[in-house]
Amino acid sequence: MSAVLEQTIDIDASNAVLDSYEPRSIVNWAAKEFRNGLVMSSSFGAESALLLHMATEALPGIKVVMVDTGYLFPETFRFMEELRLRFDLNVWVYRTQQDPIAYLKETGETDPTYRNDITRCCAANKNEPFERAMRQLKPAAWLRGIRRNQADTRQSKQIVEWSERYGCYAVSPLLNWTKRDIHNYMKQHDLPYHPLYEQGYASIGCNPLSCTRPIQIGEDPRAGRWAGSGKVECGLHLEGGAGI
């Protein structure tokens, strides 16, 4: 199936056109191109309402893949339910196969508020469920909310890419947008931020302090993720795996 899909789209030509499109137009393009073969992922994080709003307008009923690592904030689940009701979301929750408490004991993580081996935890509890979701759903394409200005690892990303890892296209409508663009759209459409956003959590993942903390004045928005570890990606958006 992958080989057939790769022949249906000229990626270079598509990117040459789509790079000048606004995100909503990119989402609309993806919805028309891939129809029910299009899925999206959502962490139900700080600004997740934005892409959910665009995607559900373009393709009502789109499958939304959410990974429950076993260590998410309670506020994240409440936010997911709020958005599920507002947008009539078709959420597919994929959970870790690990018992969250047993995992800590088996891996020698004695402090539940801290991870000694962050990469191992992400691989087992976040990457594996998402990889399982993609194997089972077999999408033609996947909408994701990454932006170039979020991390150095995202600078070279293209709006449409072929993912060998997942066997589908990866479409990133927000890639060229800035923090101001995000804010303006959220305000224009009266979209809610994650409940922890007002407490200084600019990027929200799992609840150990080693994984998510509030940022300080002047810090990069993603400075609160895996602070001090050198890790900048959970690994979902890297072809090679969990990454650093």
Measure the CA–CA gap between 190 and 50, rounded to whole angstroms: 10
Alpha carbon dihedral 56, 58, 59, 64, in 10-degree steps, equals -40
Question: Chain centroid to CA 139: how far?
Answer: 16
> What distance lies between CA 129 and its chain's CA centroid?
13
> Which token pair is 23?
């995100």
Give me the half-sphere count of Cα atoms (radius 13 Å) on the Cβ side of residue 110. 0
Rounded (5°) CA angle 145-146-152: 175
Q: How many CB atoms lie within 10 A of CB 159?
A: 23
Q: Nearest to residue 11, comparing CAs of 164, 231, 221?
A: 164
How would DSSP label each residue in 129-146?
Answer: HHHHHHHHH--SEEE---
**Residue 42 vs residues 19, 84, 110, 162, 163: alpha-carbon distances, Å:** 22, 12, 30, 19, 18
206 is catalytic: no
117: three-class secondary structure by DSSP: coil
What residues are labeled active site?
234
